Structures are given as structure tokens and as C-alpha cells.
Amino acid sequence: MSKVSARTIESAFENGDLLKESLVNYEKQWWAKYGRFTVWSVLLRNFITKNFQDKDWNSVIQHLDNLSKK
């Protein structure tokens, strides 16, 4: 999406129009490509963590140290 963002900004500069309305194309394309994943990830996160307490979050954070970069 960085390429789409760059093209949107480039076009806005070329047209001398940096108003919010001229940049909305990027947001539309972003939502078309990633919006459904974002909605599902928020729903899933809330479902999984709705009963989490501090001790649960501490455990999750502690286990993050065990993850490799792969």
C-alpha cells in the first residue's frame, strides 16, 4: 500500500490539491484491500481477550520473548 500512498500523494502534489478530499482515494483503496482483515482481526482480538486480566497480559508479553524473527 505504500506505492498506492505514494501515487496518491504525488497526484495531489501535481494537481496542487492537498485537501482531505483529494487524499481519500488512498483510504478507499486501503479499505478495499485490507478492510475485511482489519474488521476480523479486531473482532477476533476482542473475543479472545475479553476476559483477560493483567496476569494474562503479563504472561503473553513474557512469552513474546520466546518468538524468533521467523
- Phi then psi dihedrals of residue 42, to 5 deg: -65, -45
Within the chain, how many helices (H) and strands (E) appear? Answer: 3, 0
Q: What is the pTM of this model?
A: 0.45
Q: What pLDDT does 29 receive?
A: 84
Comparing CA positions, the residue from 24, 1, 55, 70 lying closest to residue 11 is 24
Q: What pLDDT does 56 receive?
A: 86
Q: Which three cell numbers stand for residue 19?
A: 485537501
Q: pLDDT digit of tens for each residue in the chain (70 aa)?
A: 788 888 888 888 898 888 888 788 888 888 888 888 888 888 888 888 888 888 988 888 888 878 877 6
